Amino acid sequence: MSDAPILTVEHLMMRFGGIVAVNDLSFTAERRKITALIGPNGAGKTTVFNCITGFYRPSGGAIRLNRDDGRTIQLERLNDFRIAKQANVARTFQNIRLFPGMTALENLMVAQHNALMRASGLTLLGLLGVPSWRSAERSAIELARTWLKRIGLLERADDAAGNLPYGDQRRLEIARAMCTEPTLLCLDEPAAGLNARESGALNELLLSIRAEQGTSILLIEHDMSVVMEISDHVVVMDYGVKIAEGAPQAVRDDPKVIAAYLGADEEEAIAVMEKAN
Amino acid sequence: MSVTPPASHTSPPSGSAFILKKALISALVALVLFSLMIGIRTEAGNQGGLIYWTRFGDLATMVGLVFGGSIIVELLRQWFGPVDTDRIVPKPVRRAMSFAGGLVAPALLVFALFVPVIFYDQRYILDLAILVLTYVMLGWGLNVVVGLAGLLDLGYVAFYAVGAYSYALLATDFGLSFWVCLPLAGILAACWGVLLGFPVLRLRGDYLAIVTLAFGEIIRLVITNWQSLTGGPNGVSGIPRPTLFGIPLDNSDDGLAAKLGIEFSPTHRLVFLFYLILAMALLTNWVTIRLRRLPIGRAWEALREDEVACRALGINTTTTKLTAFATGAMFGGLAGAFFATRQGFISPESFTFQESALVLAIVVLGGMGSQLGVALAAVAMIGGFELFRGFDQYRMLVFGIAMVLLMIWRPRGLVGHRAPTVYLERSQAISSDLVKEGHG
């Protein structure tokens, strides 16, 4: 296992016509750590995510994923589904994107599509029902059951995903991403719309994923209680550029960050802080 | 959006005042329309001048009918209620109904097996049953594309045509037997499915529908105009009849009747054709049910639900769509080959847009994705069409009204809910308002 950072973003640039959404952004995400990407609305966080997960092709820069086996994958050259398939990067969405008409269990089975396709001999062996396919299917269901248990939804495995409460849908989406057995898990505002108790449970889930699966996590979050409690490293963005980076505590006290969030000048923010102290 | 909870149902306005108001408006519209159409009758007189007379009695009757009919329709609608409200049905009754519902499919299958026995003497019914089963198979084939993968295909008849012409040309030009041509026809149609799939993959929704519609027409026009190969509008005739593994079903000396030592009857061939199409349709059904439980089938349904999420999970949406197209096209091609051998003669006229529309109507009426629903819809559509033959010119009208009423009552088709493909504890149907229709 290498100790190189799991993800290295260098001089990332994303333009939409004349608008520069992300401008010369560089940061790294450490292996088996939780890295948070924060910033005010419109700072370009989700754009960065879309570049990393292949939904956008960056206008410039490099995104390198260093796999556990030492191989390096240039994510900016892959696109679409290949990032999830070949580089094992999984993601969730800001506005939950489950398959609402399928059950919770089916959602987790779809996530194991690529592994199951291989096991079913590209459908042919599966159609004939050979034993190796049957056992592969059983173990896929077992994996799904394990995850349903971990997110506390075992009871509702056979309910339609669209019928689950909001908080459960959020957790199910994370479980679905984990069922692809990713090396890097990207979460886009996982705590959005959750109450204090639910976001506490989310923190525990993310910490246990890091501890047990050793998955590196990159997350966008507005909920500071989540960011401060669980992240190991925080990157702050504003207007498409990085304005601060470091440990959660250090970032929280950074005048630039406060200024960005308050929408004020840096001097004003310093004045406010000094007064508070 | 997946996060929005099902919209809270505000109860529609009801009460006698509302019904009366609605009926009055209908009557007023009818009065305006019919006052000229029915109220005044004009005719050319003896001298060539225009003479007219009024028929206010008839007008009053019509307006009264509209008024009364409007009240009845509104009352019926309130009685049925919208589909997604829970009707107050006692639990035992509901359980009995779901038990009976589970028996429909096996009962239908057993009945289908005995159709030739029951109706042996009625050629007309046997012919009709074969026709219905052909459409059941076509419906099941299209169901893969439209119902499971959510890709709206308006040109399904193209694959039917490819299958029919494949068999017709291979059999008449190269003398290949039905059993060799059948898989070839399926494979050729599947190839055409992939060919169609490639250019249309970027399109979604309405655009996809229009391009597939055009594709269906292109195939028909090519067949019509490629005289040297397809015979153009004259079609292909003298297509060999299917044989029972080499034994022909005719009254020759080495025919099946002679070999079995029984008297020859043309019904033998009908019975054989019936069981042939039944077997082919059941194969389609079996493969589809199997595929739904395999990763590819789940990926089709996931694609219908949310394509972006599929990509985020590493599913190759291109190949997944192509396999759906190819699978649906293959079944269409097989049905086409059967059609050619049954008719003995095919021409481009059999493969018009109307056929595509009919098969699509079967799938939509049946409830997209439901195998049983599609079978029931095919029986209702094709059988009903024949049933109304006596109504002559009113056939289409009656049929149209029946369709509209059914769609008001069950907007998501006869069988609207979706059955999960895998379950831990219990398999429970998923209500239709959660299941997406897909956007191509």
> Is there a single domain that holds both residue A188 and residue A272?
yes
**Same domain (yes/no): A275, A205:** yes
Residue predicted with more confidence, B251 or A213: A213
| Shared-domain flag, residues A207 and A167 | no
pLDDT at res. B37? 80
Structure confidence at residue B284 (pLDDT) = 94
Q: What is the pLDDT of residues B137-161, one digit of tens each?
A: 999 999 999 989 988 889 899 999 9
Average pLDDT, integer, range B23-40: 87
pLDDT mean over B365-391: 83
pLDDT tens per residue, range A31-62: 888 999 988 888 888 899 889 888 888 888 88
What was the pLDDT predicted at B89?
A: 59
Q: Give A141 or B206, the one with higher predicted confidence.
A: A141
| Section A238-262 average pLDDT | 84
Provide the pLDDT for residue B13: 59
Residues in chain B: 440
| Average pLDDT score over residue span B90-110 | 77
Boundary (domain end) residue, out of A181, A199, A217: A181
CATH number, domain with residue A249: 3.40.50.300
DSSP conformation class of A35 = E
User: What is the torsional sign of CA B2, B5, B9, B10?
Assistant: negative
Ranges of beta strands (E only) in A189-260 are 216-220, 233-238, 241-246
Domain count, chain A: 2
pLDDT category at A269 given cuts 50, 70, 90 is low
Q: What amino acid occupies position B420?
A: P
Range of the domain at A136: 96-181
Q: Bigger pLDDT: B415 or A231?
A: A231
Choose among A102, A116, A157: nearest Cβ to B425. A157
Nearest in space to B338 (alpha carbons), one of B288, B250, B273: B273
* Confidence category of residue A110, pLDDT binned at 50, 70, 90: very high
Partner residue opposite B3 with nearest CB, options A101, A160, A169: A169
What pLDDT, on the 0 to 100 scale, is given for residue A273?
Answer: 65
Q: Domain check: are A186 and A272 in the same one?
A: yes
A182 and A215 Cβ atoms separated by less than 8 Å: yes
pLDDT of residue B9 exceeding 60: no
pLDDT over threshold 60, residue B86: no
> What is the residue-averaged pLDDT of chain A?
86
pLDDT (tens digit, 9 = 90+) per residue, A153-185? Answer: 888 888 889 989 998 999 999 999 999 989 899
pLDDT for B6 beyond 50:
no
Q: What integer is the mean pLDDT of B209-229?
A: 90
Angle (CA) B151 B155 B161, round 5°: 130
Segment B205-227 shows an average pLDDT of: 89
How far apart are the C-alpha atoms of B408 and B78, rounded to whole Å? 12
Name residue, tokens 């391009």. B211
Taking CA B428 as the corner, what is the angle to CA B96 and CA B440, rounded to the nearest 5 degrees?
120
Could you give the strand order of the β-sheet that contains A19-29, starting from the edge strand earlier in sequence? A19-29, A7-16, A60-66, A72-74
Interface confidence, given as ipTM, is 0.88
- Nearest Cβ partner for B298 among A97, A106, A160: A106
Question: What residues contact residue A121 under an 8 Å CB cut-off, 6+ apart?
Answer: A130, A133
Q: State residue A70's pLDDT score.
A: 78
List the 127-146 stretch of A: residues with Cβ below 8 A of B: 127, 141, 145
Q: What is the 3-class SS of A121-178, one letter each residue?
A: CCCHHHHHCCHHHHHHHHHHHHHHHHHHHHCCCHHHCCCEHHHCCHHHHHHHHHHHHH
Please indicate, yes or no, whether residues A239 and A214 belong to a single structural domain of this protein.
yes
**Residues 242-271 (A) with a CB less than 8 A from some CB of B:** none
Nearest chain B CA: its distance from A194 CA (Å) = 13
**Per-residue pLDDT tens for A69-88?**
878 888 888 877 888 788 88
Given A181, A198, A227, which residue is the final one in a domain? A181
Q: Tell me if A47 sits within 8 A of A56, measured CB to CB.
A: yes
Residue A113, pLDDT above cutoff 50: yes
B170 touches chain A (CB under 8 A): no
Residues A162 and A189 occupy one common structural domain: no
Give A197-231 pLDDT, tens digit per residue: 888 888 899 999 988 888 999 999 887 778 888 88
What is each CA distance from A65 to A6, A216, B9, in whole angstroms? 6, 11, 49
Mean pLDDT to the nearest integer, B358-382:
87
CB atoms within 10 A of CB A31: 19
Residues A123 and A190 in one domain: no
Residue A42 near chain B (CB below 8 Å)? no
Write out pLDDT tens, residues B124-142: 888 999 999 999 999 999 9
pLDDT bracket for residue A275 (50, 70, 90): low
Task: Give percent of chain B above pLDDT 70.
Answer: 93
Mean pLDDT (whole number) for B41-66: 85
Cβ count within 10 A of residue B346 = 26
The minimal CB distance from A120 to the residues B295, B314, B430 is found for B295
Query: What's residue B3's pLDDT?
Result: 44
If asked whether residues A9 and A77 sit together in one domain, one would say: yes
Those of residues 278-337 in B touching chain A at CB distance below 8 A are 287, 290-291, 294-296, 298-299, 301-302, 305-306, 308-317, 323
Look at residues A130, A156, A181 and tell me which one is the last residue of a structural domain: A181
Q: Are residues A75 and A188 in the same domain?
A: yes
Lowest mean pLDDT among A44-53, B167-176, B253-262, B281-290: B253-262
Provide the mean pLDDT of chain B.
84
Q: pLDDT value at position A143?
A: 92
Cα gap A196→B222, rounded to integer Å: 66
Lowest mean pLDDT among A74-83, B172-181, B273-282: A74-83
Structure tokens, B372 = 């049983």
Answer yes or no: do A201 and A67 share one domain: yes
Same domain, A142 and A18: no
Residue B402 has pLDDT above 80, yes or no: no
pLDDT at residue B2 tops 50: no
Q: Which residues of B touch A82 (CB under 8 A)?
A: 314
Whether A269 and A194 map to the same domain: the answer is yes
User: What are phi and psi for residue B423, nearest 5 degrees?
Assistant: -150, 160
* pLDDT for residue B173 is more than 70: yes
On chain B, the residues whose CB falls within 8 A of the CB of A147 are none
Per-residue pLDDT, averaged over B265-276, amounts to 86
Tell which residue, B142, B180, B184, has the closest CA to residue B165: B184
